[in-house]
Structure 1
Amino acid sequence: MLSGLKSFLNLPGVSKFMVILYDALLGGLCMYLVIQWRYTFEDVPTPAGVAESATAVFIISCICAWILTDAHKAIWRFISLDDFKRLFQAVALSIIITPVILFFFFARAEGFPRLASFVVGPLFFFALVMSRVLVLFVQNGDIRAIFRGQNSNLPNAVLIGTQQSLHIYLRDASRKAAGPGYNIKGLIGTDADHRGRSIRGIPVLGNLDELSSVYSGLKNRYDRPPTLIATDVNPGRTKSYDLVRKASELGAPLVRVSQTRPDTLSPFEASDLIGRELRALDIEPVRRFIAGKRVMITGAGGTIGSEITRQVTAYMPERLILVDNSEYNLYEIDRELRSSTPDAHRNWFPFLANICDIPRMEEIFVAEKPEIIIHAAALKHVPLSEVNPIEALRTNIGGTRNILSLANKYKAESFTLISTDKAVRPTNIMGASKRIAEMLTMGQTGKSPKMSTCAVRFGNVLASTGSVVPLFEEQIAKGGPVTVTHKDVTRYFMTTEEAAALVLQAAALNSNQRPELGSIYVLEMGEPVKINKLARQLIRLRGLVPDRDIQIIYTGLRPGEKLTEELIYDEELLESTYVDGVLRFTGAMSAPEVTKGFIDTLLKYVVLRDRKEIKKSLAKLLPDYKPNGSLNQKQKPKDHAQPKPKSETI
């Protein structure tokens, strides 16, 4: 019954009628009480029918005045000064109408106290204001920010969001000295039909389905087209897609409330289209894990490595050891840290080094003795790895073995490998090499009783070097075409900041686990994103229309590429952790010595560059993996003796 009543009250027009009825009855009550008080005060009987007729007339006058002034359209919990002004006008109009009607139609208002209107007006207005302020206070807990101004020099805007997010934006904007920076001409609701109502004095013009007609009307009315402002901090992927598409079709400027700084606006970016909510992470365990420790980050200049470096810096390590094979990348992260850190607090050192160069890496371990190692160095580009398979194996497997061996030798406390979803049932050499690197990491447990080891597995990182989003943006900037491998291909995505934060969370989490247990941590990636749809939305973000302004070409899946990616094997039973967004698979590797022997044999043939034997070794480690690319090329006849493997490099 209650749900039925609620549904009835939510019907279009019903809530506004209830507001008019409540206000009119409240006005009638005020009129009746004032007349009764007037005659009681003079100890004179009230003339028959005077109070009743005046009350009835005043109720009718209020209904008319409310309709004429739109005083009933404000949503009480979002009331503003403009709404109070409209209420004052409606009360004043009712006070003027009532005596006129009584004079002409009720015996020249005989018996009606002449001062009644002057008493009823303030009393009625006070009662109206207090009832709305009470609702505002109970619903929002804040009655201060009810003022809003207009500046003809500011650009016009339309706000789009849920009623709560619209109110919060308007409330917070009114507290700024400069205001919101826009003249807000109307609101578009996304969660309920409040068309015809107002929030903080600004009219609700319709819902998202009516955006096109509303925007066209405003565009024709004003010299400059209004900007669309999305007020929801986390609108979700579907709603973001819909809004970006509509804005593109309208040619409307589109901005949004920033996720990290809600008091500012920012353009829609690719990260808004993956529909992931920012996670509220508990940083205290990470702070305890890192503070006062010597932390080594390999691949420190890469997309993930550099973000991990930034975040680790905030947790006050004793020493930060930055290792990278790219001179430019290392220079960039070093320059960034120098520009943001006072000289007295510079506690890092950039080491130009290749993780496959054992003497160089041991030199760094001897000098720095890292306690925590985050291993982000890798060759990760799938097509390049397919045409350079030996280099991918050498770096991703051999380099990982080197760092693990040195970490064990120099008694590091923690080792964390950054892996990938492509390591699950791999179909390309990059994924295969990362899967074997995971096996190396899991096999380390037991060998180093005081060192915790784990791997962290996640999907694609937005805007990372070589990823699809920067490629699409470059193609769009050049006018197209945008190349998509397959119209049905999907991928998991997360932002660089989130990926780095969750890696640190997993490393801190693993440090509290028994060292003899190896773990693979899987980061929750949400729903996979269709690459075709992502490409279309990126085109729309630039105010263009797919297939009209920018063509999309489907090129076909490349060697080793899947339609969909997976995050876990069937036999990996994940358990939740106390960190939101981090799941864990814990276990020991069966026959670790046998696996280690297979890996050593594989790396021996990597050094010899013997493709045939490499394929045989891969088949022993990953029976279901079928190599693609240049590993299938026939080797040239051996004109010279193969070089002997060198112990100092791999």
Structure 2
Amino acid sequence: MATATRKKSLLITGATGSLGGELVARYYSEYRVFAHGRNADKLLRLKMRYPRIELVLGDLRAPGIRDAVRQANLVIHTAAQKYVNLAERHCFYTVDTNVNCTFELADLAARHGVEQFVFISTDKSSFPTNVYGITKYLAERLILELVEVYPQTKFVICRFGNIFGSNGSVVQLWLDATRRQQPIQVTDPEMTRFMFSLEEAVEAVHFAVTHGRSGDIIIPKMKSVSLRDLMQLFHNSRIEVIGRRPGEKVHETLYVQGEISTGYETEKYYVLNPHDTTRLHLRDLNSAECERVSVKTLRHWLEQLQRRAA
């Protein structure tokens, strides 16, 4: 009898998050998936939808992480402490989770011969002004240093803006407030953010997996939204303007001049790489100056989000 081809193994950290859960769905049939998360209830619900996944419960230093890494061909690291306001008040925890644990996981993966490590970063790492952004900037720098140390492992970074409707996002917070018949809290209506859909985020990760080179920083060509535009989706809700929180920018940057200036671009992505020989002539990518997501598209994304939640 012919021996069945053994599937490659994939560890997804933060698998109970919005992006992590969609990545489980994307790669479920292709890989043996290890799904990591800290919430047992959410992991069990994920297991009910995808019975063949193997669960890894705990923080990023849990014993199960080490066991999963030993068996993994690919690691996609989405887990993070991502809340800007919490990061300002819980600096030690945020640094430990986003910097120390990321480095330890990436180093462990390389030492165990993992073929590829994909790290999900944020636009807040570019010209950071808050604890969260600084931790992601440091994690990016550490990942790029590991490129030199472990040439046998491919390290790829995805630098994302906001994913529309992801867990803990402003859209989710406003939806929760609306359900409770409470006013939606707006920090600054003129604030802008880079934003794309969950489907586009999954597509970008897959581009990193299939096309990424070691040392690549992959930046999707995203449009931006203002809070004023998002407020149009909640025109029947009461609005309370509360002002910007500590560490928040009015506008975000995906890239600033003085960062890595070599790489290439496609129709959908900028791909930065310090080892590339081709110079990219990029200006600062600022959310105040780029094309805006239309309100029609925002409504479409909201409908998709509500269908997924139903």
How does the TM-score come out when normalised to structure 1?
Answer: 0.40
Distance 1:371 1:432, change over 3 A: same
Matches within 5 A, 1:133-144: none
Quick one: distance in 2 between partners of 1:406 and 1:300?
A: 19
What is the match of residue 201 of structure 1? none
Matched, 1:303 2:7: no
Asked if the contact 1:574–1:583 (Cα under 8 Å) also holds between the matched residues in 2, the reply is no
Quick one: distance in 2 between partners of 1:405 and 1:575?
A: 25
Distance 1:477 1:362, change over 3 A: closer
Q: Which amino acid aligns with 1:475?
A: A
Asked if the contact 1:415–1:454 (Cα under 8 Å) also holds between the matched residues in 2, the reply is yes
What is the match of residue 220 of structure 2? 523
What is the match of residue 88 of structure 1? none
What is the match of residue 274 of structure 2? 587
Quick one: distance in 1 between partners of 2:49 and 2:131?
A: 34
Q: Please, which moves more after superposition, 415-424 or 476-485?
A: 476-485
Q: Give 1:391 shift.
A: 0.7
Quick one: distance in 1 between partners of 2:24 and 2:261?
A: 31
From 506, 514, 538, give the equivalent of 2:233: 538
Q: Aligned Cα RMSD in Å?
A: 1.8
Matched, 1:559 2:246: yes
Quick one: distance in 1 between partners of 2:179 and 2:68?
A: 43
Quick one: distance in 1 between partners of 2:44 and 2:64?
A: 19
Quick one: distance in 1 between partners of 2:54 and 2:47?
A: 8
Q: Which amino acid aligns with 1:355?
A: L
Q: Give 1:293 shift.
A: 1.7
Q: Which amino acid aligns with 2:43?
A: L
Asked if the contact 1:302–1:329 (Cα under 8 Å) also holds between the matched residues in 2, the reply is no
Quick one: distance in 2 between partners of 1:304 and 1:574?
A: 28
What is the match of residue 37 of structure 2? 324
Q: Give 1:417 shift.
A: 0.3
Quick one: distance in 2 between partners of 1:474 and 1:324?
A: 23
Quick one: distance in 1 between partners of 2:270 and 2:38?
A: 31
What is the match of residue 498 of structure 1? 200
Identical pairs, percent: 29
Q: Secondary structure at the match of 1:538?
A: helix
From 350, 354, 358, give the equivalent of 2:59: 354
Q: Secondary structure at the match of 1:453?
A: strand
Quick one: distance in 1 between partners of 2:216 and 2:256?
A: 14
Q: Deviations over 1:559-578 (max 9, x none)?
A: 00000011012123364445
Asked if the contact 2:103–2:142 (Cα under 8 Å) also holds between the matched residues in 1, the reply is yes
Q: Secondary structure at the match of 2:254?
A: coil
Matched, 1:573 2:261: yes
From 126, 135, 145, give the equivalent of 1:433: 135
Asked if the contact 2:261–2:274 (Cα under 8 Å) also holds between the matched residues in 1, the reply is no
Matched, 1:335 2:32: no
Q: Secondary structure at the match of 1:305?
A: helix
From 106, 116, 122, give the equivalent of 1:404: 106
Quick one: distance in 1 between partners of 2:45 and 2:26?
A: 16
What is the match of residue 375 of structure 1? 77
Distance 1:478 1:300, change over 3 A: closer
Asked if the contact 2:69–2:112 (Cα under 8 Å) also holds between the matched residues in 1, the reply is yes
Quick one: distance in 2 between partners of 1:391 and 1:356?
A: 13
Q: Give 1:556 shift.
A: 0.8
Q: Which amino acid aligns with 1:333?
A: L
Q: Deviations over 1:342-396 (max 9, x none)?
A: xxxx3x2111132134x54323334xx2011101111111111111111111111
Q: Deviations over 1:11-35 (max 9, x none)?
A: xxxxxxxxxxxxxxxxxxxxxxxxx
Q: Give 1:507 shift.
A: 2.2
Structure number with higher relative contact order (C-alpha < 8 Å, ≥ 6 residues apart): 2
Distance 1:491 1:574, change over 3 A: farther
Q: Deviations over 1:610-634 (max 9, x none)?
A: xxxxxxxxxxxxxxxxxxxxxxxxx
Quick one: distance in 1 between partners of 2:108 and 2:61?
A: 12
Q: Which amino acid aligns with 2:65?
A: M
Asked if the contact 1:456–1:506 (Cα under 8 Å) also holds between the matched residues in 2, the reply is yes
Q: Give 1:418 shift.
A: 0.2
Q: Give 1:469 shift.
A: 0.3
Asked if the contact 2:9–2:72 (Cα under 8 Å) also holds between the matched residues in 1, the reply is yes
**More strand as a share of residues:** 2
Quick one: distance in 1 between partners of 2:141 and 2:87?
A: 20
Asked if the contact 1:308–1:501 (Cα under 8 Å) also holds between the matched residues in 2, the reply is no
What is the match of residue 292 of structure 2? none
Asked if the contact 1:296–1:374 (Cα under 8 Å) also holds between the matched residues in 2, the reply is yes
Asked if the contact 1:301–1:332 (Cα under 8 Å) also holds between the matched residues in 2, the reply is no
Asked if the contact 2:56–2:64 (Cα under 8 Å) also holds between the matched residues in 1, the reply is no
Distance 1:574 1:475, change over 3 A: farther
Matches within 5 A, 1:11-50: none
How does the TM-score come out when normalised to structure 2?
Answer: 0.82
Q: Which has the larger radius of gyration?
A: 1
Quick one: distance in 2 between partners of 1:325 and 1:475?
A: 25
Distance 1:351 1:456, change over 3 A: same
Matches within 5 A, 1:82-481: 292-314=7-29, 316-317=30-31, 319-338=32-51, 346=52, 348-357=53-62, 359-366=63-70, 369-481=71-183
Q: Secondary structure at the match of 2:101?
A: helix
**More helix as a share of residues:** 1
Q: Which amino acid aligns with 2:257?
A: D
In the alignment of these two chains, the number of paired residues is: 269
Q: Secondary structure at the match of 1:492?
A: strand
Distance 1:473 1:361, change over 3 A: closer
Q: Secondary structure at the match of 1:587?
A: coil
Asked if the contact 1:354–1:360 (Cα under 8 Å) also holds between the matched residues in 2, the reply is no
Asked if the contact 2:263–2:274 (Cα under 8 Å) also holds between the matched residues in 1, the reply is no
Asked if the contact 2:11–2:69 (Cα under 8 Å) also holds between the matched residues in 1, the reply is no
